Amino acid sequence: LDVIRDVEPRVADAIGAEVEDQRSSLKLIASENYASPAVLLAMGNWFSDKYAEGTVGRRFYAGCRNVDTVESLAAEHARELFGAEHAYVQPHSGIDANLVAFWSVLSQRVESPALEKAGVRQVNELTDADWAALRADFGNQRMLGMSLDAGGHLTHGFRPNISGKMFDQRSYGTDPATGLLDYDALRETARDFRPLIIVAGYSAYPRLVNFRIMREIADEVGATLMVDMAHFAGLVAGKVLTGDFDPVPHAQIVTTTTHKSLRGPRGGMVLCQSELAEHVDRGCPMVLGGPLPHVMAAKAVAFAEARRADFCDYAQRVVDNARALADGLLRRGAKLVTGGTDNHLVLLDVTGYGLTGRQAEAALLESGIVTNRNSVPGDPNGAWYTSGVRLGTPALTTRGLGTAEMDEIAALIDTVLGSAQPGLTSGGKPSKAQHVLEEGVALRVAARAAEL
Ligand code: PLP
């Protein structure tokens, strides 16, 4: 830190404070983790200075032999770890990985007379009229993804995201009575809508998804199945999710982030079947800038770590801990979306405590418990205030906490939320007065928590 402090002390201080924050709080954000020192160090080095557009052995810059080494290693480890036919490790983030996937499927699937005329590799020969025809062909495609309030991600066709603008989009949700995915309803929607791409995967769905059934539905309507396993990639790598619940054997294309349950550096990745590989490998320059070689080096290290036997033990403990946290909350009378969990996350409906998600998030933060507010299915409070809080166990499991501690955390959460004044909000959009009260709720709860 002294090297940084010499240049800009405020950055050095912020880094120190961040380490302190992350050490002294209970990190229950389901998408966060603690990467190992090996991963962090692999990211902070001279690879950061290197440009390497292109793919291994086929770069647009000279002097890329060391980048080739780390990119090949990361891809090889990824293929072995997930049993995938092809791995593309350049995406800078999960959103980038999804964009690469969308454009790859469009390139592969869209029957554009203009594109056929040009041949995929000779787009330079397209005339202006061909380009116009091609844009129209690409712009009229359909995507079916999980709705945001059922737990899907905004890149799965949600309107404020580019995916919702690129595609004619429809969503599938969950059964309002159980909160569970309704495959029959999804099949009906797919039959009616006939999308080019069906996106499976989630950010806030606490149960398993049967990817064999999803593929059956996709095949029936001629769609490509894309799975975004950003949240649960660590559980797939750690062999907790196998068979019907492992997306890799079932989906034509799988995207992920590398920094959540997989515990690697911040980044993304695309896995795919061989027939999509040439399209996926055009991610840069199709939608990505130059690769980040320092991050690819760290991905190689993280995937090597995940191939060790103890990562399977870690993944199992993540799930055991989530279940213990859910059981602890349920025993204390809390309401959970779907009534429990099968994976690494728990979605707590906080309306029973008379709070919005935003109030609950603030109250927990004041008490040293870091979470994020989250919509629940059919949320009456909308996406900003929400009615839920999402809790995840990957980070605290990395810190060595087990099921007994999860029960203690459940007790803490219940105490903190139960100490807030009930009736501040009761469904519907919170009133202005309620917004003003939010700070106060957090402070009162913090005071109560301090007395404990
Ligand atoms: N896909 C899913 C399912 C996610 O939950 C997220 C992030 O929360 C992303 C994609 C986007 O990842 P990133 O923030 O790395 O772009």
Compute the chain's Rg from CA coordinates.
23
Dist. CA 305 → ligand 1 center (Å): 22
What pLDDT does residue 138 have? 82
Contact 185, 161 (CB under 8 A): no
Contact 123, 91 (CB under 8 A): no
- Span 94-107, average pLDDT: 96
Phi, psi angle pair for 348, to nearest 5°: -90, 125
Contact 108, 131 (CB under 8 A): no
- Span 310-339, average pLDDT: 98
Contact 143, 169 (CB under 8 A): yes
d(CA 236, CA 256): 11
Is 391 labelled a binding residue? no
Select from 33, 95, 295 the residue to mutate for testing ligand 1; criterion: most ligand atoms less than 8 Å from CB.
Answer: 95
What pLDDT does residue 137 have? 82
What pLDDT does residue 337 have? 97
The DSSP call for residue 223 is P
Q: Which residues contact 58 (CB under 8 A, 6 or more apart)?
A: none
Pairing of strands 268-272, 86-88: antiparallel
Q: Provide the whole-model pTM.
A: 0.92
Is 148 labelled a binding residue? yes
Contact 48, 294 (CB under 8 A): yes
What pLDDT does residue 438 have? 53
Q: Which residues contact 194 (CB under 8 A, 6 or more apart)?
A: 142, 221, 222, 223
For the cut 50, the answer to whether the pLDDT of residue 314 exceeds it is yes
Pairing of strands 86-88, 372-374: unpaired
Q: How far apart are the first and last CA of the chain?
A: 36
What pLDDT does residue 67 have? 98
The CA–CA distances, whole Å, from 294 to 44, 45, 48, 53, 187 equal 7, 7, 5, 14, 43
Buried/exposed 217-236: b ≥16 CB within 10 Å, e otherwise: bbeebebbbbbbbbbbbbbb
Phi, psi angle pair for 95, to nearest 5°: -65, -40
Is 289 labelled a binding residue? no
Ligand 1 pocket list (CB less than 6 A): 31, 93-95, 153, 155, 201, 203, 228, 230-231, 257, 268
d(CA 339, CA 322): 13
Ligand 1, residue 229: give the atom nearest the CA: 3
Percentage of residues in the chain having pLDDT higher than 70:
91
For the stretch 335-356, pLDDT in tens is 999 999 999 999 999 999 999 9
- Span 139-153, average pLDDT: 92
What pLDDT does residue 114 have? 66
- Span 253-272, average pLDDT: 98
What pLDDT does residue 149 have? 85
For the cut 90, the answer to whether the pLDDT of residue 434 exceeds it is no
Mean confidence (pLDDT) of the chain = 91
Quick check: ipTM above 0.95? Answer: yes
For the stretch 297-306, pLDDT in tens is 999 999 999 9
Buried/exposed 168-204: b ≥16 CB within 10 Å, e otherwise: ebbbbbbeeeebbbbbeebbebbeebebbbbbbbbbb
Is 435 labelled a binding residue? no
Dist. CA 450 → ligand 1 center (Å): 35
Select from 29, 203, 229, 288 the residue to mutate for testing ligand 1; criterion: most ligand atoms less than 8 Å from CB.
Answer: 203
The set of catalytic residues is: 51, 53, 228, 257, 260, 266
d(CA 387, CA 416): 16
What pLDDT does residue 108 have? 93
421 band by pLDDT with thresholds 50, 70 and 90: low
Question: Higher model confidence: residue 199 or residue 430?
Answer: 199
For the cut 60, the answer to whether the pLDDT of residue 448 exceeds it is no
For the cut 70, the answer to whether the pLDDT of residue 41 exceeds it is yes
Is 412 labelled a binding residue? no
Among protein residues, the one with the nearest Cα to ligand 1's atom 7 is 94
d(CA 29, CA 171): 25
- Span 76-104, average pLDDT: 97
For the cut 90, the answer to whether the pLDDT of residue 99 exceeds it is yes
For the stretch 192-240, pLDDT in tens is 999 999 999 999 999 999 999 999 999 999 999 999 999 999 999 999 9
Select from 146, 153, 255 the residue to mutate for testing ligand 1; criterion: most ligand atoms less than 8 Å from CB.
Answer: 153
Ligand 1, residue 98: give the atom nearest the CA: 10
Residue 171 forms beta bridges with which residues?
Answer: 145
What pLDDT does residue 39 have? 98
Q: Which residues contact 423 (CB under 8 A, 6 or more apart)?
A: 354
d(CA 232, CA 347): 15
Dist. CA 393 → ligand 1 center (Å): 17
Percentage of residues in the chain having pLDDT higher than 90:
81
437 band by pLDDT with thresholds 50, 70 and 90: very low
Least confident range of 56-70, 112-126, 152-166: 112-126
The helix (H) or strand (E) run that includes residue 398 is helix 394-398
For the cut 80, the answer to whether the pLDDT of residue 116 exceeds it is no
3-state helix, strand, coil in the chain (%, to 5): 55, 15, 35
The CA–CA distances, whole Å, from 297 to 10, 15, 31, 304 equal 28, 22, 21, 11
For the cut 70, the answer to whether the pLDDT of residue 115 exceeds it is no
For the cut 70, the answer to whether the pLDDT of residue 321 exceeds it is yes
For the cut 50, the answer to whether the pLDDT of residue 447 exceeds it is no
